[in-house]
């Protein structure tokens, strides 16, 4: 693997030099007033990225998985029922965590490549007249399959049935890269991490809590210590942490939020959509299909690409690493060996994406797939030129 090449995995993502330098800082006393100058702006920046005016943001030294555990343990009790769809590896892992914590899970089995059915959720919630379901889980962007689900529709399912369950959303591979509306969608807990849209090293679990979710912490019975948001809130009130924070990463997060807000969130989302669409044009030029079952499900942060039957897609990933020093994502779980993944989120440009498309083409040609070298690159180039020319004319 070459350190000079960008990575095309769906996280951790490429780290801009500005953020690498922000994380590389001298040791400071994390109980001094200087730490507050890092902590509070970072929390406020995340709140803006979430498009929320009211969310309480908590930042733990962890990863997105720790964020999942924060959501569950601070709001639920053993024996509680949660509603969740299993439509990919990461929704599956969240379900597994629920069962390990003694929660009952009403699972909506969903084909991999499909999104969460808000209609199916609505039917289940309507039948739950005793309100046994305490939380509804939704993976906004299923990283394993490149599928995005409609969170607004899930909120509507809760509202239309008058169901009081909390809404938890895994936004690990969407927040900071795709439009996410904490307030408008009525999200109660949003979970993400530092290593994807925020373009930082792994090491921070970032969660936003609604007032309703905060209230649930007072009756929740699941054990929690490290991830107890009550302890964290008390620490924040005194400009600190209940334990040692990841100071360099918090400084990086503050800078990351500023980068995203300076670019403008709408521009960030438009850039991701444009880059993703170029990759999709390349995939179609190759004569391949995406794992996502329909256009409305296409993710703007990762494309999972189906290879021909009988071909082990993992070979592309291995070959790219061994021969060209470039990283793509392997297929996971039910789609292992059936897809390879191109991550196109975080610090990514049209030109960077073209290098990934070209490398994937070389790998497929080397491995004997019926690929015309340059076909995918040309399709992406045509799309990127159109978008950039229009942007340039508008600016002029």
Q: What is the dihedral of CA 223, 227, 229, 234, to 10 degrees?
A: 110
Task: Indicate the residue among 262, 279, 301 that finishes a domain.
Answer: 262
Closest C-alpha among 171, 154, 11, 167 to residue 91: 171
The widest CA-to-CA distance across the chain, in whole angstroms, is: 62
Asked if 229 and 338 sit in the same domain, the reply is no
> What is residue 388's predicted lDDT score, i.e. its pLDDT?
62
Pairing of strands 104-109, 302-306: unpaired
Give, in order, the Cα–Cα distances in Å from 278 to each of 161, 171, 207, 338, 341.
40, 23, 31, 22, 14
Q: Which residue has the tokens 């009988």?
A: 310
End-to-end alpha carbon distance in the chain = 41
Q: Which residue has the tokens 């990841």?
A: 246
Paired tokens of 238: 């005194």
Q: Does residue 1 form part of some domain?
A: no
Asked if 84 and 141 sit in the same domain, the reply is yes
Asked if 289 and 238 sit in the same domain, the reply is no
The pLDDT-based confidence of 393 (bands split at 50, 70, 90) is: very low
Q: Does residue 354 form part of some domain?
A: yes
46 lies in which domain range?
A: 17-262
Asked, as a colleague might, if the bond just before 12 is cis with ω within 30 of 0, I would say yes
SS3 letters for 255-269?
HHHHHHHHHCHHHHH
Paired tokens of 123: 């039917």
Q: Does residue 9 form part of some domain?
A: no
Q: Which long-range contacts (CB under 8 A, 24 or more apart) does 314-319 make?
A: 314/340, 315/367, 316/340, 316/360, 316/363, 316/364, 316/367, 319/363, 319/366, 319/367
> What confidence tens digit (pLDDT) does each residue in 112-151 have?
999 999 999 999 999 999 999 999 999 999 999 999 999 9
Question: Sheet holding 339-343: strands in order across?
Answer: 289-290, 302-306, 339-343, 329-330
Asked if 49 and 150 sit in the same domain, the reply is yes
Distance CA 189, CA 52 (A): 12
**What burial letters (b/e) apply to 42-73, b meaning 16+ CB within 10 Å?**
bbebbbebbbbeebbbbbbbbbbbbbbbbbbb
Asked if 145 and 285 sit in the same domain, the reply is no
Q: Where are the alpha helices (DSSP H) in 165-210?
A: none
Asked if 234 and 340 sit in the same domain, the reply is no
Q: Does residue 11 form part of some domain?
A: no
| Cα 294–Cα 295–Cα 296 angle in degrees, nearest 5 | 95
Paired tokens of 219: 């009756």
Residues 6+ apart with CB under 8 A from 148: 115, 140, 141, 142, 174, 178, 297, 298, 299, 300
Percent of the chain with pLDDT over 70: 97
Q: Is 341 helix (H, G, I), strand (E, B) or coil?
A: strand
> What is residue 2's predicted lDDT score, i.e. its pLDDT?
73
DSSP class of residue 331? P
> What confidence tens digit (pLDDT) does each residue in 56-65 have?
999 999 999 9
Q: Does residue 330 form part of some domain?
A: yes
Whether the predicted pLDDT of 167 surpasses 80: yes
Asked if 258 and 269 sit in the same domain, the reply is no
> What is residue 3's predicted lDDT score, i.e. its pLDDT?
83
Task: Indicate the residue among 262, 283, 306 that finishes a domain.
Answer: 262
> What confidence tens digit (pLDDT) does each residue in 325-370 have?
999 999 999 999 999 999 999 999 999 999 999 999 999 999 999 9
Asked if 162 and 281 sit in the same domain, the reply is no
Give me Rg for the CA atoms of the chain: 21
Asked if residues 198 and 166 have their Cβ atoms less than 8 Å apart, the reply is: no
Q: Does residue 4 form part of some domain?
A: no
The pLDDT-based confidence of 51 (bands split at 50, 70, 90) is: very high
Asked if 253 and 303 sit in the same domain, the reply is no
Q: For residue 158, what is the domain's CATH number?
A: 3.40.640.10
Pairing of strands 104-109, 81-86: parallel
The pLDDT-based confidence of 394 (bands split at 50, 70, 90) is: very low
Task: Indicate the residue among 205, 232, 262 that finishes a domain.
Answer: 262
> What confidence tens digit (pLDDT) does each residue in 276-298 have?
999 999 999 999 999 999 999 99
> What is residue 390's predicted lDDT score, i.e. its pLDDT?
47
Q: What is the arithmetic mean of pLDDT over 8-12?
A: 96
Asked if 76 and 102 sit in the same domain, the reply is yes
Asked if 166 and 118 sit in the same domain, the reply is yes
Q: Does residue 3 form part of some domain?
A: no
> What is residue 297's predicted lDDT score, i.e. its pLDDT?
98
Q: For residue 316, what is the domain's CATH number?
A: 3.90.1150.10
Q: Does residue 6 form part of some domain?
A: no
Asked if residues 163 and 118 have their Cβ atoms less than 8 Å apart, the reply is: no
Distance CA 334, CA 314 (A): 13
Asked if 223 and 280 sit in the same domain, the reply is no
Q: How many domains does the chain have?
A: 2
């Amino acid at each position: 693997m070459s350190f000079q090449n960008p990575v095309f995995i769906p996280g951790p993502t490429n780290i801009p030099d500005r953020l690498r330098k922000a994380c590389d800082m001298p040791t400071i006393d994390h109980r001094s007033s200087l730490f507050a100058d890092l902590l509070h702006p970072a929390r406020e920046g995340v709140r803006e990225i979430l498009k929320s005016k009211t969310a309480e943001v908590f930042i733990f030294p962890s990863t997105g998985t720790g964020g999942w555990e924060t959501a569950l343990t601070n709001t639920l009790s053993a024996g509680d029922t949660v509603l969740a769809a299993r439509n990919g590896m990461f929704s599956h892992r969240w379900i597994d965590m629920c069962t390990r914590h003694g929660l009952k899970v009403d699972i909506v089995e969903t084909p991999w490549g499909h999104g969460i059915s808000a209609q199916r959720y609505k039917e289940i919630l309507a039948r739950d007249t005793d309100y046994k379901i305490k939380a509804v889980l939704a993976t906004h962007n299923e990283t394993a399959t490149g599928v995005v689900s409609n969170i607004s529709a899930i909120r509507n399912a809760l509202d239309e049935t008058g169901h009081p369950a909390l809404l938890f959303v895994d936004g690990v591979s969407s927040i900071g890269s795709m439009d996410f509306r904490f307030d408008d969608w009525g999200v109660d807990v949003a979970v993400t991490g530092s290593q994807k849209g925020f373009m930082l090293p792994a090491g921070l679990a970032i969660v936003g809590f609604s007032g309703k979710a905060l209230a649930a912490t007072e009756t929740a019975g699941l054990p929690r210590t490290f991830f107890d948001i009550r302890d964290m809130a008390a620490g924040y009130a005194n400009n600190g942490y209940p334990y040692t924070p990841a100071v360099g990463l918090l400084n990086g997060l503050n800078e990351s939020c500023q980068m995203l807000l300076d670019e403008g969130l709408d521009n960030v989302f438009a850039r991701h959509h444009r880059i993703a669409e170029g990759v999709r044009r390349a995939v179609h030029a190759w004569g391949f299909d995406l794992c996502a079952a329909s256009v409305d499900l296409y993710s703007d942060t990762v494309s999972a690409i189906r290879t021909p039957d009988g071909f082990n897609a993992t070979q592309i990933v291995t070959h790219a690493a061994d021969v060209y020093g470039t990283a793509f994502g392997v297929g996971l779980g039910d789609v292992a060996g059936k897809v390879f993944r191109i991550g196109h989120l975080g610090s990514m440009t049209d030109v960077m994406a073209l290098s990934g498309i070209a490398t994937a083409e070389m790998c497929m040609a080397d491995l004997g797939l019926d690929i015309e070298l340059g076909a995918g690159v040309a399709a992406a180039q045509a799309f990127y030129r159109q978008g950039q020319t229009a942007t340039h004319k508008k600016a002029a």
